[in-house]
Chains A and B, each alone.
Chain A
């Protein structure tokens, strides 16, 4: 079947891309003459020269670069992703990564849900009332979202909904972090775990913590989605088959919901897929602003410490997610639009 061939081809490509990314990052972080030594993340100022030597040897930083790379490859296949630096207490890189990944997933999913729920109707309204007031209003909202600096908006949300609300005596939302109440780990996704284990108080708390960062994320992306939906709807509404549908005497409602939307939403779906993938990379800034314990926040720390092990894990996972998301989106596209054949 053609489509399975296609998927296999793309998966092979994925492996190729992963290799390429790993090589480039490896080189950049360990071999490139930067100001930070590759072992800087693993030492602290109290170490003696001998101890530093020991650390270097232990991590293999003294070997030639290509040798390091092969050792690293070998280690990966054995499941050893290397240790993180001091900043993360030297735990295995993949452990640190996946611990925080569930939080990022939570945030990404909520962000996407909000984005879709607001963005798509906004785009449709904009298209139907093209160049009239609702269009202008939703346009400004959409573009404002798109033009808002992520760091600024997050803070504004915190300022208003946490600080001022509590000043004014209103019920306020927590300003940062995820819920600190404990929960048993079932799926790894805190919100779900709370629900599954019957710990509703935790889930509620987590939910409250999730609102502001998720909204911050979605406000920025929903504008983009709304524009795409609008453009695509306008394009579809010009098509001949819409005239045909109207000529059949169908009500405008049916014409739009049955005939136009199905065609117009195809690009929106693909875009949402890519969005989601990008968000899974950890919306770094939002996580930073809200101290959300996700992968992005960790990556930021790793970046400033020059921790190559963690960053390698991070980059490879990110690359894998993006490429897979592209593939998934393309396949979905083929399902939605019966004309596409691979």
Chain B
């Protein structure tokens, strides 16, 4: 799993993103200046404890922040445009065609009274371009598979302004549904399509959700803690699936998780978040070999090593900062074993300390 860094333009760049929430108890400063770069065709894992802001970052990215949230500062640059300034309608279109997200708990995130088919189909019917391409391909090739369409999107095919009849749309969608379920390795797709979410197992539901995301042929595929609600064996299967799909889809993946081992499994690079900031970003290998930020170091020490069992488990002293009145300066400083004077004054910025390795810490 090599990574391509610095040679290409980032597909997505988040600059100094701050997000606050109005709540009864005060202003919650959830994101405190997040900096992140996502390059084409890479898998970037965003790792951190609960409450560090990873999910909020994703929500801001796709434009689905709740009503009481606002962005006081920062930018999200995607394909040359700042997403924080875009209208809801624009974000909606992006969600339909470019930014796909898969959520954590497939039980609650799938509509219980609609069949898998209807929930999958509606994703296809949104995409006129895709349907037209599929229809064209079908005419030229005689048949069309979803995987063909995956390749097609990269080329900006000239839009033929054809309108497809509703029956046609339904037929093609149904076909693509079956295809895509095969892609995510769901057995017997025809039968599954007719089922309701509660009739499937957790792993199958998760695969269906992944299918719904892939159906958009997204540029960015976001996986928000998708393995957290699954047991370990299913988790392994899903991760395996993701690795397989990686070659087929031309997307970059943002993998949000709190589990470092999951990150290690699939990611090219890892970004560690704490208290609303990104504190370290580097390749997977580097992170495990030479963690620079104190938080990362403590995290890695806390993972029990199966080869060298020890008597006591290491943990990080203290608790996660509360977000209404967060600690000034570097938000980790109250728990940091190497805390220095200026740690409590100003927040350290992310700096590139060595090639492809950024840290936000005053030690460096």
Contact = CB atoms under 8 A, between A and B. Distances in A.
Interface of A: 239-241, 243-251, 254, 258-259, 262-263, 336-339
A249 B108 contact: no
A136 B126 CA distance: 35
B103 A244 contact: yes
A162 B215 CA distance: 62
B111 A247 contact: no
Nearest to A240: B108
7 contacts: A239-B108, A241-B110, A244-B111, A244-B209, A248-B212, A254-B122, A258-B122
Given A247-B101, A249-B94, A250-B126, A259 B111 contact: yes
B89 to A, nearest CB: 9
A43 B112 CA distance: 63
Q: Which of A249, A337, A339 has the most CB of B within 10 A?
A: A249
A243 B64 contact: yes
A263 B111 contact: yes
A339 B100 CA distance: 28
A250 B112 contact: no
A247 B64 contact: yes
Contacts of A240: 103, 105, 108-109
Contacts of B114: 258-259, 262
A266 B94 CA distance: 33
A5 B196 CA distance: 24
A245 B110 CA distance: 8
Contact of B111 (A241, A249, A251): A241
Contact of A263 (B62, B101, B112): B112
B60 to A, nearest CB: 13
B95 interface: yes
Interface string B82-120: 000000000011111100110101001111111000000
B211 to A, nearest CB: 12
Interface string B44-82: 000000000000000000101000000000000000000
B198 interface: yes
B123 A336 contact: no
Contacts of A247: 62, 64, 95, 100-101, 103
A252 to B, nearest CB: 8
B196 A249 contact: no
A72 B196 CA distance: 52
Interface in B231-258: none
Given A251-B92, A339-B196, A339-B198, A245 B101 contact: no
A336 B109 CA distance: 19
Contacts of B113: 262-263, 336-338
B286 to A, nearest CB: 32
B216 interface: yes
Contacts of A239: 108
B264 to A, nearest CB: 27
A248 B105 contact: no
Contact of A337 (B64, B105, B112, B216): B112
A243 B103 CA distance: 10
Nearest to A248: B123
Nearest to B126: A249
A249 B112 contact: no
Contacts of B209: 244
B221 to A, nearest CB: 12
B111 to A, nearest CB: 4
A246 B100 CA distance: 11
A254 B62 CA distance: 18
Given A248-B126, A249-B94, A241 B109 contact: yes
A249 B216 contact: yes
Given A241-B112, A259-B111, 14 more contacts: A240-B105, A241-B108, A244-B209, A245-B111, A246-B64, A246-B95, A247-B100, A248-B95, A249-B94, A249-B123, A249-B216, A262-B111, A262-B113, A338-B198
A243 B58 CA distance: 13
A248 B126 CA distance: 9
Q: Which of B95, B96, B113 has the most CB of A within 10 A?
A: B113
Q: Which of A243, A247, A259, A339 has the most CB of B within 10 A?
A: A247
B69 to A, nearest CB: 14
A91 B110 CA distance: 60
A254 B126 CA distance: 11
Contacts of A336: 113
Give the 10 A-B residue pairs with the shortest CB-CB distance, closest first: A249-B96, A249-B95, A240-B108, A244-B109, A241-B111, A240-B109, A338-B196, A262-B113, A247-B101, A259-B111
A239 B113 CA distance: 13
A251 B114 CA distance: 17
A248 B112 contact: no
Nearest to B212: A248
A212 to B, nearest CB: 39
B196 A248 contact: no
A250 B122 contact: yes
Contacts of A338: 112-113, 196, 198
Contacts of A262: 111, 113-114
Interface string B204-229: 00000100100010000000000000
A241 B126 CA distance: 18
A249 B105 contact: no
A248 B110 contact: no
Nearest to B113: A262
Nearest to A259: B111
Contacts of B94: 249
A244 B126 contact: no
A338 B198 CA distance: 9
B119 to A, nearest CB: 8
Nearest to B196: A338
Contacts of B111: 241, 244-245, 259, 262-263
A254 B123 CA distance: 12
Nearest to A241: B111
Nearest to A252: B92
A263 B108 CA distance: 13
